[in-house]
Structure formats: structure tokens, C-alpha cells
Amino acid sequence: MANSSIAQPTSRKGLFARGRGAGRQLEWWQQLLLQVFCLVVAVSVLFPIMWIVTLSFKEAGSPRSSKLEIIPSSISLSSYQAVIDQPLSKTAGDISFWKLMGNSFFLAAGVSFFSVMIGVAAAYAFSRLNFVGRKFLFLSIGFILLMPGIATLAPLFAMLAKIRTSLEVLRIIYFVLAGLIVAGLALMTVSRIRSDDFRAGSIAVVFGGLAVAGLLLWGGLGIDIPKNAKPFDLGRSLYGVGLAMISGALPFAIWNLKGYLDTIPKELEEAAIIDGASPNQIFFRIILPLATPALAVTAFLGFMAGWTEFALTARFINKAENYTLAIALQTMTGQYTTVSWSNFAAMSIMISLPVSIVYLALQKYIVGGLTLGGVKG
């Protein structure tokens, strides 16, 4: 980009310089001004981050400093140790740090895996197949995306909290999943036999699918329900939070993936269609392999949203054993008078680090996708 962009009085000088093409040198004072500007911006970006990093390296429980420190003077990991040993204060509940992390991971990974898996099939239909009601369905998904998750919190909570008969519910879910898989396999088999395309690969898929369905059935049967057990409260469990989150995560996954699939050139499929490929073959052999980075990014965005999900979790969960990292962080900010700031800082960093590193690694793909259609974060 030739010098165009800065407004400065000597752009006439720049005119001559431009003739020499790329690798242009800036005047020293232009360079200086720009460097000062960029440094100021960089410092303002880094200021909160350095503040929290410095705090986290203080001794656990050390008193607040009345001097501004944004560069750690000494490094002590005792705050991290303290948070790992006891993330919540005694009154807030007894739960280990690893359990918190496990809960958050279970929630985030489950939601993102589930929504991407069934989202990609729907996205393929929206992107490549023409069917009755396509536009209407897609627009209603777009409308859902505009709505904040909190706007459907009341009905979701009321619905899910009603389901509290027993662990029977979980078993039903397992059975329904197995039934869905069997139904899908049957449909696939029928359509393949009709198009004379039932080969070894299909047989393998059918057997694999039946095996998974069998596993689910077995798992459902295996759920152990003790007599006089407390009723299983879907609305008060992480399963319930996960379901409520999928209500927003699935439309997001469909929308996001459809945007990516639209960018895959159609020529590849056209060649395959000429060779007689069916929509199923196109989906499994062409689209899915090409969409792997998109799947990864969408799954990661879903994961990141789930990892720090607060609003739904705080409404649904009422037992300390089901707390997540986000809830724990909130209890630490809620009691600024009693909780040590260095513990809070260490907790924030431990929550951020895993997702931030992955974000940085996937950054190139994510940024392209964000503009395609991420409204729900």
C-alpha cells in the first residue's frame, strides 16, 4: 500500500519515492511518529494483560499493592498452587480445580462436538442441495442467530427443569440416539440399493453404525439406577446446560459451516457427478475431507463459547459438584473483599491460556470465518 493511507503534508515527496516501487523507505520522522502511535496502542493493549500477569505472579494472599506494577518484580507460582488446591472458598463449595476443569471441558467439548456433527450434514444440504423450504428454514436459522441465548433462557429452564423423573431420561436419550442412527442407516441403505450403489464401503458403514447404535443401547441399559435414588434433575445437571447451549450452538454451527462450504468450488463436485457420484458420495468423499479445517474452526469456536459459558450455567446449576470454571471465576470476583486478587489473576490466566493458544494457532482460519457469519459468540 503506497503511502496513500497516512495524511501528511509531505505526500508530494512521497510521490517521487513511490516510483521506486515496493520496499519504500519512510522519512525518519514519519517512521518515528508511526512508531510512537503503534507503541501507544500496543501499550494500551498490553496494559490489562500485564497487570493481571503481574498480579498472578505475586505470593498467594499477598496484600494489594498501592503502587502500579505491570512488570512482575519476582515470580512466584504460589497463587496458581493456591487456586489449584482450593479454587472456591470454603463457604462456596467443595470442588477440586480439576473437577471444575473437567466439567467445563465436558460441557464445551460435548456441545461443540454434537453441534458440529449434526450441523455439517445440515450445512451440506443448505449449501448444495435444492429442496422445498430451503430459504425459509435458512432464514429462520439466521433469525435465531440474532437472538441472544438469554432471550430463550426462561422457556428452556422451565422445560428442562420439569424433566426430573429419574435417570430414566438419560436412558431414553441413549435409546433415541441409537434409534436415530439406525433410522439414518436404514435410509442410507434404501437409497443406496435403489441407486445400485451398495458396495463394500456401504456395508462397512452400516456395520460400523450398527456397532455404535449397539454401544449406545448397551450404555443406556447399563445406566445403574439405585432404588430410592434422588430423582435425576435434567434442569440441574450439566446435561441440561449442554442441551440449552446446543439450542444456540447448533444454528451457529450450521450457519458458519454453510458459509465455509459455499466457498468450496463446485467444479470438484461437477466432475464427480459426471462420473456418476451420488449426493452421499459427494458429501463423504469430497465435501467432508475438504471441510476439515472448517469443522475444526467451528468446533473450536463452539468450544470457546462453552468453555466460558456463564449465564446458562449459573441459572441451571445449583450444586457445587457441577460448577464450571466460569462460575468459579465469578465467585472470585463477587467477593473482592475476601478473595485475594492474585488468586483471581491466576484463575483468569489458567482459564484463558488453553483456549487462547489454540485460538492463536487457528487464527488465520477463524478470522475468515468470523466475517462469514458468527453472531453468537
Partner 1 sequence: MASAESSVERASDSDLPRQSWWTRTRTSRTAYTYLFPALIVMAIITFYPIVYQFWMSLTDFGPSSINPNVANYKAPEYVGFQNYRLILQDKLATVDADLNSFRFWRTLGFNIWWTFSNVVFHVSLGIVIAVLLNVEGLWFKKIYRAIYILPMVLPQLVIATIWRNMFDAKEGAVNLFLKIFLGPAFPEAGIDWLQRVEPVAFGLPLSYFAMLIANIWLGWPFMTIVATGALQSIPKELYEAASIDGATGWNKFWTITLPLLRPAMVPATILGIIQTFNLFHVIYFISGGGPLGQTEILVTQAYKLINGNSLFGIGAAFSVFIFIILGCISAITARISRVAESYDG
Interacting residues with partner 1 between 64 and 103 (CB under 8 A): 64-68, 70
Pair 174, 223: CB distance under 8 Å:
yes
The stretch among 94-102, 208-216, 291-299, 308-316 that binds partner 1 (CB under 8 A) is 308-316
9: exposed, middle or buried (Cβ count in 10 Å: 0-12, 13-18, 19+): exposed
Pair 21, 9: CB distance under 8 Å:
no
Q: Report the Cα 113 to chain-centroid distance in Å.
A: 9
Q: For partner 1, which residue of 251, 259, 302, 369 counts as binding (CB under 8 A)?
A: 251
What gap in Å lies between CA 243 and CA 153, rounded to an integer?
12
Q: Report the Cα 43 to chain-centroid distance in Å.
A: 29
Neighbouring C-alpha atoms within 13 Å toward the C-beta of 216: 19
Q: Which is nearer to partner 1, 268 or 367 (CB)?
A: 367
Contact set for partner 1, span 17-56 (CB under 8 A): 18, 22-26, 31, 34-35, 37-38, 41-42, 44-49, 51-52
Contact set for partner 1, span 342-361 (CB under 8 A): 344-345, 348, 351-352, 355-356, 359-360
Q: Which is nearer to partner 1, 194 or 222 (CB)?
A: 194
Contact set for partner 1, span 274-303 (CB under 8 A): 279-280, 283
Shortest Cβ distance from residue 279 to partner 1 (Å)?
A: 5
The stretch among 80-88, 91-99, 242-250, 294-302 that binds partner 1 (CB under 8 A) is 242-250
Shortest Cβ distance from residue 302 to partner 1 (Å)?
A: 13
What gap in Å lies between CA 107 and CA 315, rounded to an integer?
15
Q: Which is nearer to partner 1, 223 or 314 (CB)?
A: 314
Q: Which is nearer to partner 1, 68 or 222 (CB)?
A: 68
In three-state form (DSSP H/G/I as H, E/B as E, the rest C), the secondary structure along 57-76 is: CCCCCCCCCCCCCCCCCCCC
Q: Which is nearer to partner 1, 222 or 347 (CB)?
A: 347
The stretch among 199-207, 219-227, 293-301, 329-337 that binds partner 1 (CB under 8 A) is 329-337
Pair 82, 62: CB distance under 8 Å:
no
Contact set for partner 1, span 175-204 (CB under 8 A): 180, 184, 187-188, 191
The stretch among 11-19, 205-213, 219-227, 289-297 that binds partner 1 (CB under 8 A) is 11-19
Please report, in angstroms and rounded to a whole number, the separation of the first and last CA atoms in the chain.
33
Contact set for partner 1, span 129-168 (CB under 8 A): 129-132, 134, 137, 140-141, 143-144, 146-148, 150-159, 161-162, 164
Grid cell of 265 as nine digits: 468450488
List, as one string, the DSSP characters of 155-188: HHHHHHHH--S-THHHHHHHHHHHHHHHHHHHHH
Shortest Cβ distance from residue 264 to partner 1 (Å)?
A: 16
Phi-psi region of 339 (alpha: psi -120 to 50; beta: other; left: phi over 0): beta
